[in-house]
Amino acid sequence: MRQFNRKWTLDREKFLSETEVKKLRRTIEDKALADLQKGRTTWPRFWMVIDLAAGAGLRVSEIANLKIANLYLSSREPRIRVTGKGNRTRDVFISRDLMKHLVDYLEWKQTMDETIDKDDFLLMSSHRKSYSTGGLQYAFKVALNESGLPNYYSIHSLRHSYGTYLYQRTKDLRLVQKQLGHSSIATTTIYADVTVEQTLEAVNGLFEEDDHDPDNDESDTTPPSDNPTKTDPK
């Protein structure tokens, strides 16, 4: 019997809602800022991991392999140069907020006596070792738990969230394809599907009457023949 491959779909458990992304980022930023005040290093590192995944849509392997030389933090065209699947290199353009976070993070690394030479990894543990992909997954799961979000999400869910909401904002599949580094635009089309939130927004209020219906206005119920401003024809 012939076997048919099922098309991979982006179901609701594979990406975070916008509200969930904002909650995650806010929670981890708050914990990082608290750690910075106390001279601790765990959450500042985790905050950078989350920001790269959510704010640039990078794969976990791309985050793990980032080096200082891959950062182009010019205010005119801030971008990150990454090597993705198939050893393909691409430039991922980033927001000014993420650029500022990266600049601040580099300065913080120096205060921690970490070198920032071009061949140094961006993300290093407190033991001065680069993070493995498993270590980054662990960091995400800890952040997820601290934020009170469902445990079925993976760090790759942030990449899917990035693709989904970038497409919703731009309606430009080619742009999303280039940012995510897909070799085929057919892969990128999964982000063009509608979300639950979009569907609910569309159906709420459908066919419901407005508070004031001009076609059913009964404010003037006086018959024309009784209107004193008009005279009956003779």
CATH number at residue 82: 1.10.443.10
- Inside any domain, residue 99: yes
Task: Tell me the pLDDT of the chain (234 aa) as tens digits.
Answer: 444 444 677 888 899 999 999 999 999 999 999 999 999 999 999 999 999 999 999 999 999 999 999 999 998 999 999 999 889 999 999 999 999 999 999 999 999 999 999 999 999 988 889 999 999 999 999 999 999 999 999 999 999 999 999 999 999 999 999 999 999 999 999 998 867 777 778 888 788 776 655 555 555 555 555 554 444 444
| 234: in domain | no
**224 within a domain of the structure (yes/no):** no
Q: Would you call 59 a catalytic residue per the annotation?
A: yes
pTM, entire model = 0.82
Residue range of the domain that includes 163: 12-195
Of 14, 101, 109, 182, catalytic? 182
Residue 105 is among the residues annotated as catalytic for this protein: no
In a domain, 233, yes or no: no
Residue 210 lies in a domain: no
Please confirm, yes or no, whether 159 is among the known catalytic residues.
yes
Other beta carbons within 10 Å of 173: 16
Query: How many independent structural domains does the chain possess?
Result: 1
153 is catalytic: no
From 45, 59, 101, 160, active-site residue? 59
Q: For residue 88, indicate whether it is catalytic.
A: no
Specify whether 160 is catalytic: no
Catalytic option among 40, 85, 88, 129: 85
The answer to whether residue 211 is domain-embedded is no
In a domain, 208, yes or no: no
Point out the catalytic residue in the list 67, 141, 156, 178: 156
In a domain, 213, yes or no: no
